[in-house]
Amino acid sequence: MSGKNKSNILIYSQHFWPENFPINSITNFIAKKHYVSVLTGRPNYPNGEIYNKYLKNKNNFRNYFGVKVNRLHIIPRKKSSVFNLLSNYLSFISLAFFLSPFIFKNKKVDHIFVYGTSPLIQVLGALSLKLFKRAKLHLWVLDLWPDDMISTGYIKNNNFISKGIIKVNELLMTFAYYFCDSIFVQSKDFIPKIKHLTNNKNIYYLPNPAPVSLVDNNKIHYSIRLLNKYFSITYAGNIGNNHDYELIINAAIELQKNKMIRFFIYGGGSNYRNFVNLIKKNNLKNIFCYGFVEQDYINPILSNSDLLFTSFKKANNLSLTIPARIQSYMQAGKFIIVAADGAVSKLIKRVNCGYVSPSGNVFSFVKNILEAYRLSENKRLIMGKNGFLYYEKNYTVNKFYITLMRRLNKFNDS
């Protein structure tokens, strides 16, 4: 792409490399065709402490495959209490709001693309830069807000104070949506909820792409030998308040007698320690936990697993969500089991790439695992291929880029 057709795009995201998020490979892809820079915080997700490797040499984390990374000195999440999370979120929003005009004082910014994980009010920190640079502001909604406050359990929607907090956040989101030039959603089911808070007409569907490895050779994790030894049921992702880790515990208890079926868990998060403690309490030998694993290990892990699964607790906003790991699971071409309500279950059924069960239903979840275990390997591969073909058509980074730039170019032409 010639220089005159290139845009200056700022990726605005509280979370970025070396944290594992799809925005990493998205940024790298966009940077091949445009001038891209990043505004983010110090890496501390999911364990809540600033990464040691970052503290030892910050210079190693200022450039990501040729993209300049600007980091704000945010307060880490620590143990993810309400106070710690609030400090973490507000430090990013306030520092971005007051410092970004100075950080990018001498840099042209045409578009600000906000990677909208929770809390979605983080977009407020980008408003000063939008006004200062007269840039177009684009918000990609990955988690509904303030709905996510309720589903995670940090706010209970049953008293006057909680309802007041939720109402304030709704007003903040209405204010933020007003300043957005366009709003992208990772699930079509988000659109009615967002329209309830804004009259913005530029709302577009933009699903998560599967992240791609940015190194020549994928790293091989030491657990691969065990994955190949057993009938492996793998979960790769955050163990947070939205994810039903108790369902995994109860399923593992039910499946203890089967010496071949094993659960493999890759990922940290706010409930990881509670999850590990429950495994020890129940003396479960059929769950292997590996904590936080770098993205470069993930693809070989998924491709060497027999089944891939995810689970959500029962909550209204979660039934509208399609977790980003589903795209990675489809990319791996593996049989998928989902224990969740709503959009993600409908997707798996439509694509015919696995089995689904309702949120929290241990009996149905275990039944699906056993049925998949009894299927021939060829049948599982056929269904896994259905998911892979759907990924190729809908969830590649290139497809994401084409969809995004079609919308952004509309503003370049205006």
- 377-386 confidence digits (pLDDT tens): 999 999 999 9
pLDDT at 116 over 60: yes
pLDDT value of residue 1: 47
pLDDT at 214 over 50: yes
pTM equals 0.90
pLDDT value of residue 403: 94
Domains of the chain: 3-209+396-413 (3.40.50.2000), 224-394 (3.40.50.2000)
pLDDT at 217 over 90: no
Q: For all residues of the chain together, what is the average pLDDT?
A: 91
Q: What is the mean pLDDT of residues 61-72?
A: 96
pLDDT value of residue 159: 67
d(CA 283, CA 81): 28
Of 297, 307, 295, 303, give the one whose Cα is nearest residue 332: 303
pLDDT value of residue 410: 82
Share of the chain above pLDDT 90, in %: 73
Condensed to tens digits (0 to 9), the pLDDT of residues 266-294 reads 998 888 899 999 999 999 999 999 998 88
Instruction: Tell me the torsion sign for CA atoms 377, 379, 383, 388.
Output: positive
pLDDT at 4 over 70: no
Q: What is the mean pLDDT of residues 14-40?
A: 94
Confidence of residue 238 (pLDDT cuts 50, 70, 90): confident
Tokens in use for 111? Answer: 């578009």
d(CA 127, CA 104): 13
pLDDT value of residue 80: 73
Distances (CA, A) of 373 to 89, 145, 223, 281: 43, 38, 20, 27
pLDDT value of residue 314: 82
Q: Pairing relation of β-strands 8-12 and 335-339?
A: unpaired
Establish whether the linkage from the previous residue to 46 is cis, with ω within 30° of 0: yes
Condensed to tens digits (0 to 9), the pLDDT of residues 90-102 reads 999 999 999 999 9
Which residues does 405 contact at the CB level (< 8 Å), separation at least 6? none
Helix (H) or strand (E) holding 339: strand 335-339
Tokens in use for 198? Answer: 């804004």
d(CA 77, CA 41): 11
Condensed to tens digits (0 to 9), the pLDDT of residues 256-266 reads 999 999 999 99
pLDDT value of residue 157: 61
pLDDT value of residue 75: 95
Q: What is the mean pLDDT of residues 367-394?
A: 96
